Amino acid sequence: MPNHPTLATLAADLDSGRTTSRKLVEECLARIADPAGEGRRAFVHVDKGAALAAAEAMDGLRKVNAAPSRYAGIPISIKDLFDIKGQVTRAGSRALDDSPPAEHDAATVARLRAAGFVLIGRTNMTEFAYSGIGINPHFGTPKGGWNRAAGHVPGGSSSGAAVSVLDGMAHGALGTDTGGSCRIPAAYNGIVGYKPTQRRVPLDGAVPLSFSLDSIGPLARSVGCCAVLDAVLANEPIVAPRPRPVQGMRLALPTTIALDDLDAEVAATFERALKSLSSHGAFIERIEMAELHDIGPMNAKGGFAAAESFAWHRYLITSKGQVYDPRVAVRIMRGEAQSAADYIDLINERRSLIARVNARLAPYDALVLPTTANTPPRIADLADDKAFTTANLRSLRNCTLINMIDGCAISLPAHREGEMPVGLMLAGAGGSDRRIFELAAGMEAVIRV
């Protein structure tokens, strides 16, 4: 990853006068506009005038010691799934082109504004957030950071969000995560992505994929950066996570599903990270988690995502289905075949799953597993629908396990400089967010040595 600053570094520079919000915004805008870069594909809308005006306002408030937070003036990007007052929310689709501008900010956007963050623009995404790959036929597909000349996928659905942070077009990003949409693009681009416990962050003002599984989280350059943004999104005090010593960490590695069919690079990088953790005193126990076998049958008919997205899309897709990405439309339409009884069964089965998994995790600090089974595939290799489906399922598989158990999880870059990007995921039961941040902060530097 390029040597871009963290939120803490930027806050210190702003506080000392070494930089200004206007300068930060102008630098981000220049990177977005660079014709040799990915800005035109990473963003679907850049609000240059409003961003510069907000930067001037934050600089003025800081001069009179009235900045709303120490992070005021730092530019961040917003996934095109969120309402921003006065703008049309398209959710990466042409089907919403004629929608009226939003009358209010989404709850999370409003919280970021209140903390003084500057909204630099709306980022590209998989249409309606329905894939872990990041391809968008309407607005183009931003190339991921790995081997740009070959054109690898950015990961989805928060594709532009990850690329905006990686390339310094923003210093943090607001994303969503229904089955990995913050963590997958983070893993594919060598940054950090966080999926919070769902109930901590309000979903109001975001186009839903699955209201049972949707979570709103940040993508950024470090554990500390994600912790700052997560606290703002959850309306909690911003307190830097206290890194836990690696020595004595109790980590469970599920051998059920999570280690199946790994790409060679993923397997090698992950095992190297585990060895480093062990050498620093972490206790890692490989455990069977038979409960995870229940998730595949639960999703056999499309699961919550198909049922709940069809409920939201059923009228729009009837009138404008011809402009949907066919790969998205076919998955939404799977929800039409689910009955009310099927859906009630899903709710009950998930409730049981969560209880059983929480009991299984009780003796451990966290689960540790690869974020994705695969490394980012080339965009050109996914023209065939079968190849796309295979890659998509492998991208989503491990992350989806955590959404289904109502957990929280973070993806950390585990690869070394010059290697293909690989993410290591730490996950815990719902409500263990603070512990996950502390563990991640403690192991952040260790896993890449």
pLDDT value, residue 4: 86
210 counts as catalytic: no
* 266 inside domain: no
Assess if residue 17 is contained within a domain.
yes
Q: Which residues are within 8 A (CB) of 294 and not within 5 positions of it... i.e. 6 or more apart?
A: 349, 353
Question: Any idea what the CATH number is for the domain that residue 16 is in?
Answer: 3.90.1300.10
Q: Facing residues of 428 across strands?
A: 408
The answer to the question of residue 402 being in a domain is no
In a domain, 164, yes or no: yes
Tell me if residue 212 is catalytic.
no
Confidence (pLDDT) at 2:
57
Q: If residue 216 lies in a helix (H) or strand (E), which one and from where to where?
A: strand 215-220
Strand order in the sheet with 408-413: 43-46, 118-123, 75-79, 173-177, 215-220, 192-195, 408-413, 423-428, 366-370, 250-254, 283-287
Our answer to whether residue 181 is catalytic in this structure is yes
Domain total in the chain: 1
Alpha helices in 167-215 (DSSP H): 183-189
Question: Is 126:159 a contact under the CB 8 Å cutoff?
Answer: yes
| 223 occurs within a structural domain | yes
Domain with 203, as residue range(s), is: 7-233
From the candidates 164, 181, 212, 222, which is the catalytic residue? 181
The tokens of 285 are what?
């126990």
Which of the 8 DSSP states describes residue 152? Answer: B
Q: Is residue 229 part of a domain?
A: yes
In a domain, 94, yes or no: yes
Q: List, run by run, the mean pLDDT of 10-residue segments along the chain (449 residues).
A: 85 98 98 98 97 98 98 98 98 98 98 98 98 98 97 98 98 98 98 98 98 98 98 96 97 98 98 98 98 97 98 98 97 98 98 98 98 98 97 98 98 97 98 98 95
157, 158, 215, 411: the active-site residue = 157
Nearest Cα neighbor of 400 from 248, 184, 185 is 184
Q: Is residue 341 part of a domain?
A: no
Set 21, 77, 79, 411: catalytic member: 79
